[in-house]
Amino acid sequence: MKMRIGIVYYSRSGNTREIAEILCRKLRERNADAEMIEIKTAKKVGFLQAFLVSIQYRNVPLENIDYDLSKYDVVVVGTPIWIGRPSPIVETFMKNTEGLGLHGRRVFVFATCSRNPDAQGGGVELIKNVLKKHDAIVNDVFLVLKMRKREIIKRNMEIDDFIENIISA
């Protein structure tokens, strides 16, 4: 039976979506049943608004909050890191979405950023803590990629190594 993997992500610039697509393709190549689930905001979030909600730790209205992730064996959560924190859109999704179905689910986290990926562990830890409140089994392995215009500049680990950790979970 194929492993079912849900890749939940938010992307304002397209960088995080690009990585979600790469992960999905590579997981399918490994015979997993991978599916992408995009978190969408009720209104488009511009650069200035993204900055303001990041520094003010505000929730952002989402288009849809009816997600059931219980059908997946593994869930992968992708977020951009803004000002050292996970995107407030992903935080809103995780904090305010009841019944996500993450109880007992194995979860992996990846993040994109514009700075040194080795310095972004704090932002990843914040989202991992929110996931643990949903009783998810959060894996210690995480992927952080420094990106510019959808091009990977630097990463804390190879994407294929991250895939291997997911497949062997």
Lowest mean pLDDT segment, chosen from 50-64, 104-118, 132-146? 50-64
CATH code for the domain in which residue 26 is found:
3.40.50.360
pLDDT for res 147: 80
Confidence of residue 72 (pLDDT cuts 50, 70, 90): very high
Q: How far apart are CA 102 and CA 158, in angstroms?
A: 26
pLDDT for res 33: 98
Query: Number of structural domains, the chain?
Result: 1
pLDDT for res 141: 83
Lowest mean pLDDT segment, chosen from 46-50, 63-67, 108-112, 158-162? 46-50
Question: Whole domain around residue 126: which residue ranges?
Answer: 4-167
Give the pLDDT mean for 89-115: 83
Q: What is the pTM of this model?
A: 0.88
pLDDT digit string (tens) for 129-167?
A: 888 888 889 988 888 878 888 778 888 888 999 999 999
